[in-house]
Structure 1
Amino acid sequence: MPAAHRKPRQRSLSGSTVRTAATLALASAATATAFDGGAAHAEPDLTPAQVKAKVDKLYQEAEVATEKYNGAKEKAGKAQKKVDALQDEASRRTEALNSQRQKLGAAAAEQYRTGGVDPTVRLLLSSAPDRYLDEAALAERVGTRQAATITRVRKELREIDQLRDHADGQLSELRAKQKELRQQKKTVTAKLGEARQLLDRLAPADRTLDPASGTGTAAGADRASRSTDRAASPSAGAPSKAPNSRAASAIAYAYDALGSPYVWGATGPSAFDCSGLTQAAYRAAGISLPRTTYAQINAGQRVAKSQLRPGDLVFFYSGISHVGLYIGDGKMIHAPNPSAPVRIAPIDQMPFAGATRVA
């Protein structure tokens, strides 16, 4: 065969050549991974201000999920009560129905035992025809009553079936609300966990970033804030500006709650989330408020920011995800987030969304 048509011989790779090739391949793969974003996911060091911004955003997102959780929990509770009531009523009516069925069964058995003889023959055989006729008339009336009882039983059966169908529908709604509850809880937990991880990256002194916003977590700052807030409490001698006794009671409750921890889903008396605090404050004043921020904003008369008076509820963010209790002088008492206790803060620290007067 001519030399031109011969295949070139494959040269075997020496050990050093193989190692060099492998090293180059690994380096190439690592470079490609970096450009693909593998290494790009490593977050650079953040300044305390950047951490604060991220944490604030996570807390706001968690609060949105918290209010959805509160709403789902409230609806799930109502659905559970409906299911329980329907099932109890169905059981009670079934028990009463079974009693009627037993009576009908006994009457049917008696008719079977005595109904085989023709009435005319029974009259002829009777030693007291007049008495027999009286008994026959009575039996006819009893039969009419039994027919009416059968009609009632059939109607009761239909109504019990409808009750059970209704209970099944409510049970499906309850399961849907419970599923939503679990999802919102998962969302809240994830957001708060991410916020905690970010805060843990900071030195303890840097975790008190902005006392006004409530992001700080240092114990000393919390104690100082709590002391200052309580000094301004009406119970400590400062005059109450509340326009009426109910608003005054709500404000007094909120002052007493200063320093209490924020716990999502909590409504007191030792911990609160934002809408839990306002609900508890007005519950103490004899006014029942809905559970969630987006329901509380529609619970009273809407008022403009320029017309605020102590006792009004003030709401923040476009999604109405945060609420505080206005106490005058541009300030409110609110439950900020898990990094800060219930405290006094200016209402201008967050985007104002509206206000409602409930007292």
Structure 2
Amino acid sequence: MARVLTRLRTRNHAKLHSGYGKRPIVRVARWVLTLVIVAAGALSSAVPGHAQPTLAQIEDELDAQWRKLEPVIEQYNKVHSELKVNQKKAAELDERIRPLSLQADLAAAEIGEVANRYYRTGPSSEFNALLKSGSPTSLADQLMVLDRISSRRQQQVAAVLDTRDRYLSEKQALDALIARQQAQDEELAARRKAIDADIERLEQARAAAYQTAGYTGGSGVSGPCPAVSVGGAAGTAVRTACAQIGKPYVWGATGPSSFDCSGLTQYAWASAGVQLTHFTGSQWNQGVPVGRAEALPGDLVFFFSDLHHVGMYIGNGLMVHAPRAGQPVQIENIDHMPLVGFRRVG
């Protein structure tokens, strides 16, 4: 019995070392490996790779972020322009009020002095002709003459004071408005640093992306404007706008070396003798509505529902505009942005 058990153990040991017992293990290992490969393939197909963004995608992202900044810039332009206008009005009112106050004070002082002198020393030389002519013979007559003269002077003083007080009332209201606008102007100016930082960040991202792609251009055209067959003020404005192509965008700038969007249109039309406010919303209201089919070179073309961007139409669906930081004044198709309408000025 012991011999039989010994033989069985020896036979099994020999089979184990001969490889006979390895086949099931190999088959399992191969099956597991196949599952791993299949799973890995399925996983790789389920998780897409991170493709590099196209140049168009880069520009679209920058445009989207810029659209958040430009309304703030135009709001600053609005407040700053209105503040300058109202400060000028306040200065003009001051110029009107000062002589009126002086005139009223002098007239009132003169009335008091004449009355005081008359009752102390008798009539002065200015009344002698009346008082010695034989008409006002009594003291009562003399007093009546003085009273009439004094009344006329008082009426004149009252009229001057009324005008002065009206101007003072206007100036008080204007001063209150200026105070509010100055607070807004300072608040928006304080945001300039943050805006400049955002612009710098966007430009660095743009430069890096374009450098990686081996491209440095923008989406617009920097060449000369096509021939414009329009004369008069509109022709002057268009030629001036076209002459600025290639100059940099700087927010709040009105030329001559740099521009923002409303600064460019203001500058161009100023060369033709038409004064526009440095704010897109005001420029929209300063013009006459024009349909797209009737639009002519020189018309202003506005974009976005809040009118925060404007360009100078040059015909054939093209405009000259200052797009944004990092992109100079250039020619672009008006359908590149959501168009709101046209306005004719001049």
Secondary structure, aligned partner of 1:264: coil
Residues 157-166 or 71-80, more deviating:
157-166
Structure 1 gap segments, 5+ residues each: 1-45, 116-127, 215-224
| 1:1-359 alignment runs, 5 A limit | 52-114=59-121, 133=137, 137-201=141-205, 203=208, 205-206=211-212, 211-213=217-219, 226=222, 229-230=223-224, 233=225, 240-358=227-345
Quick one: distance in 1 between partners of 2:251 and 2:301?
19
**Deviation string, structure 1 residues 70-94 (Cα, Å, up to 9, x no partner):** 2212221221122112222221111
How many residues get paired? 283
Q: Is the 8 A contact 1:262 1:337 kept in 2?
A: yes
Task: Tell me, yes or no, if the aligned pair for 2:136 and 2:142 is still in contact at 8 Å.
Answer: no
| Distance change (3 Å), C-alpha of 1:162 and 1:51 | same
Aligned-residue offset at 1:311:
2.3
> How many angstroms apart in 2 are the aligned matches of 1:208 and 1:141?
97
- Which digits, 9 at most, give the CA deviation of each residue in 1:74-121, with x for residues without a partner? 221221122112222221111112221231222132233258xxxxxx
- Residues 289 and 160 from structure 1, CA distance in 2 versus in 1: closer, same or farther, beyond 3 angstroms? closer
Aligned residue for 1:98, secondary structure, equals helix
CA distance in 2, matches of 1:297, 1:282: 14
Q: TM-score, normalised by structure 2?
A: 0.70
Q: Distance in 2 between matches of 1:153 and 1:246?
A: 49
Contact map agreement 1:48 1:209 (CA 8 A) in 2: no
Deviations 1:117-165 (A, max 9, x none): xxxxxxxxxxx9x799278745531231113323432443344333323
Opposite residue 169 of structure 1, the aligned amino acid is: A
1:99 counterpart letter in structure 2:
L
1:284-331 residue CA offsets vs partner (Å, 9 max, x unmatched): 223333432222233334333344332222111111111111223322
Report if aligned partners of 2:247, 2:257 keep a CA contact under 8 Å in 1: yes
Q: What's the offset of the Cα at 1:177?
A: 1.4
Give the Cα–Cα distance (whole angstroms) in 2 for the partners of residues 309 and 98 of structure 1: 58
Deviations 1:51-72 (A, max 9, x none): 6555323322222122222221
Distance 1:158 1:209, change over 3 A: farther
Output one character per residue of 1:237-273: Cα deviation in whole Å (capped at 9) or x when no partner. x6x2333333221121111111112122222222211
C-alpha contact (below 8 Å) 1:199/1:207 kept by paired residues: no
Query: Offset at 1:209?
Result: 7.2
* Partners of 2:176 and 2:87 in 1: CA distance: 10
Q: Which structure's CA Rg is the greater one?
A: 2
User: Which residue identity does 2:170 align to in structure 1?
Assistant: H
1:4 maps to which residue? none
Q: Return the alpha-carbon distance in structure 2 between the equivalents of residues 55 and 96 of structure 1.
A: 62
**Is contact 1:62-1:188 (8 Å) kept?**
no
**188 and 57 in structure 1: CA distance in 2 versus 1, 3 angstrom threshold:** farther
Partner Cα separation in structure 1 for residue 265 and residue 59 of structure 2: 26
Amino acid across the alignment from 1:102: A
SS in 1 for 2:67: helix
2:20 maps to none
Amino acid at match of 2:178: L
C-alpha distance in structure 2 between counterparts of 1:298 and 1:269, whole Å = 25
Distance 1:326 1:64 in 2: 21
Q: 2: CA distance between counterparts of 1:155 and 1:85?
A: 20
Aligned-residue CA RMSD in angstroms? Answer: 3.2
CA distance in 2, matches of 1:188, 1:61: 14
- In the aligned structure 2, how far is the partner of 1:280 from the partner of 1:270? 11
The 3-state SS of whatever aligns with 1:255 is helix
Equivalent position SS for 1:356: strand
